[in-house]
Amino acid sequence: MLQVTPGATIQPPAGYLLAVTVDTLVSGVHFPINTNPEDVGHKALAVNLSDLAAMGALPKWITLTLVLPEKAPGWQAGFEKGLVALAEQYKVQLVSVDIHTGPLTITISAIGLVEEGRALLRSGAQPDDLVYVTGTIGDAGLALAVINTGESIPEQHQAYLLGRLNRPVPRIEAGLALKGIANAAIDISDGLVADLGHICEASGAGATLFAGKLPLSNVITAVISEEDAIRFALTSGDDYELCFTIPQDRQVMLEEAFAKGGGGYSCIGKIDSEAGLRVLDKSGEEVVLDKGGFQHFS
């Protein structure tokens, strides 16, 4: 079992900066109360590692504050198993732990290393940059909607969708590969439109997205209509893929960097000098965005 430990001192190597992030998950707010504790342990760490990936940082250390209801040793053991497994996968060291009794709440701060002048920021996007995302998007949002509405989906798709919601993969390799290539980056936690909007706001720019180019999994298009799948991809969060922008003349560099590791990626739009975010459908008409999209299953 995790033991309460004092604080730690950290000295970054010469030429490196510390990249620091913190995230809190509250039961019933950020994850359903009946979520498997191993999944909660994995996700609590993964969302923080995703933030480091979006900065191009190599994760090294984490701190943990865990607030547990009384008499929850079984839950705590499962949580620790999920967290420790992911920490070991990325060679992350837990340097400080604080445990209290109360409503189930998990706060993790993750610390990584990034070379001076090489961190990926939200504020660097330039007009005519191309907009990319890693992996597929919309899956986790669909999974959460299924849980919240009680809708049923074919059994063969359930494990995939729940895995995308409960076991996100932090794109560390992609973030490291993007240093020196991407002008701006962010992870998709609140939804593509919202998070790309953060890049646009920080960069003093706008963007145009092409709905027909959004990377949709075979599962999401098998379960719901393409129109609904596109709306999930645009507005739902929890996928923890990376959204990033690059100058057009670095496309070959991107291809070569990702060939060495980083996973799949898709070009989905461009950065504009005009403020605002526009989404065009396959016919070139502008899509009216809303928070809906979960309307029916096919």
Per-residue DSSP letters for 200-263? HHHHT-EEEEEGGGS---HHHHHHS-HHHHHHHHHH------EEEEE-GGGHHHHHHHHHTSS-
Domain boundaries, the chain: 16-115, 130-280
- pLDDT attached to residue 293: 35
The top-level CATH class assigned to 16-115 is: alpha beta
CATH code linked to domain 130-280: 3.90.650.10
- pLDDT recorded at residue 148: 87
- What pLDDT score does 200 carry? 98
Alpha-carbon gap, residue 16 to 212, rounded angstroms: 40
Query: What is the residue-level pLDDT of the chain in tens, covering all 298 positions?
Result: 676 676 778 889 999 999 999 999 999 888 888 899 999 999 999 999 999 999 999 999 999 999 998 877 789 999 999 999 999 999 999 999 999 999 999 999 999 999 999 999 999 999 999 999 999 999 999 999 999 888 888 999 999 999 999 999 999 999 999 999 999 999 999 999 999 999 999 999 999 999 999 999 999 999 999 999 999 999 998 999 999 999 999 999 999 999 988 789 999 999 999 999 999 998 889 988 764 433 333 3
| Contact by Cβ (8 Å): 92, 49 | yes
* Domain 16-115 shares a fold with domain 130-280: no
The runs of H, that is alpha helices, within the chain are: 37-54, 73-89, 139-149, 155-166, 172-178, 192-203, 218-223, 226-235, 251-259
